[in-house]
A and B are shown apart, each in its own frame.
Chain A
Amino acid sequence: MSAIGLDDIDRLIGVEQYEEEGEFPVEQGYVWTTCASVENGNPLFWDAKVAEEITGGPIAPPTMVSVWFRPHHWAPGRTSAGLPLQVHFDLKEGLGLPEAVMSDNTIVFHEPVRPGDRLKTRQVLRSVSEEKATKLGTGRFWVIDVEYHNQRGDLVAVESYTGFGYRKGDPS
């Protein structure tokens, strides 16, 4: 984890950072718990025959992709957990922008995620804007992609986050 200053931006655009593997394999129990939480009766997740016919076996709901990377609340020997979207926090620190909001995020879905998969993630900084004045304050917009791959190297999803880091109270 290291701050990203203005001089580092050109060097880091498009570079894969913070590759990590999920702490556990994708599991059927969480699929059912998630479907139950939103009363999702899609038979792909409940009926083995339908899943076999349509998706070649069970899959996880595509929107669960980030679930497989949230760390356990506690684990033996661990003193602190890494922050998801570490590049966002590196930019805040390196550019001296203490406040930040996420304006929107997009998920693009590729190969289905299946129970038993071991997923990996990595973060890629795509862009950082010039300084802009907004109602919140003065700062910069940035776009960070989080790419997810399975154990076979197939791309399963890309999440793109647009963040705005700023200083409060600057004239706008």
Chain B
Amino acid sequence: MTATSAPTRLLLGDVRTGEHLPELAYPVTATTVVLGALASRDWRPMHHDKDFAVNRNGTRDIFLNTPNQAAWFERFVTDWTGPYGRLQRMTFRMLGSIFPGDTMVFRGEVTDTGVDEVGCGWVAIDISVSVDGDPKTTCRARVALQVDADDNPWLRKGDQWRP
């Protein structure tokens, strides 16, 4: 591992309900799909073999697999929170496939904020990844944030962590 610049810190008090996360647009290539499938140990052919995807699955091309999409959603959230942001939960709903040649666009909106009964600050976010304005997967996420600069959600264990 190598040293990078000082990490971003997003405190709970910096966040307002209705706030939008910075949008992320990414041009998907066959490499994006294949690299994502192999990184998540998903060897199924519809994620690397176009002939199989078209002729057996009936899709127009290979497509991004679900576990790698989860990794994209995680990156989208923690790009915004910085490393102190600790994911509590994510709920996914798959609506359509993402193919090479698509530009996928991640958008997110804060739907709620709060502090739980053990003092852990959290933010709820509705996220979607769309292609040409058409939602392909939605993700409802909750992420713990620092309530102040001395707090660290990652130190919470056992009964002090209620995701």
Q: Are A37 and B1 in contact (CB under 8 A)?
A: no
Stretch at the interface among B14-22, B51-59, B68-76, B115-123: B68-76
Q: Are B92 and A105 in contact (CB under 8 A)?
A: yes
Least CB distance, B60 to chain A, in whole angstroms: 20
Contact string against A for B residues 14-44, beta-carbon threshold 8 Å, 1 for contact and 0 otherwise:
0000000000001000001001101111110
A40 at the interface (CB under 8 A from B): yes
Point out the residues of chain B lying under 8 angstroms from A73, CB to CB: 43
A168 at the interface (CB under 8 A from B): no
CA distance A51 to B2 in the complex (A): 11
Q: Are B75 and A106 in contact (CB under 8 A)?
A: no
Least CB distance, B31 to chain A, in whole angstroms: 9
Within 8 A of B (CB), among A8-56: 30, 33-51, 54-56
Question: What does DSSP make chain B's interface, helix, strand, loop or mixed?
Answer: mixed
Question: Among B35, B84, B89, which residue has its beta carbon within 8 angstroms of that of A106?
Answer: B89
Q: How many residues of B contact A (CB 8 A)?
A: 42
Q: Are A49 and B3 in contact (CB under 8 A)?
A: yes
CA distance A39 to B72 in the complex (A): 8
Least CB distance, B94 to chain A, in whole angstroms: 8
Q: Are B90 and A107 in contact (CB under 8 A)?
A: yes
CA distance A48 to B4 in the complex (A): 10
CA distance A51 to B152 in the complex (A): 12
Q: Are B4 and A34 in contact (CB under 8 A)?
A: no
A112 at the interface (CB under 8 A from B): yes
A96 at the interface (CB under 8 A from B): no
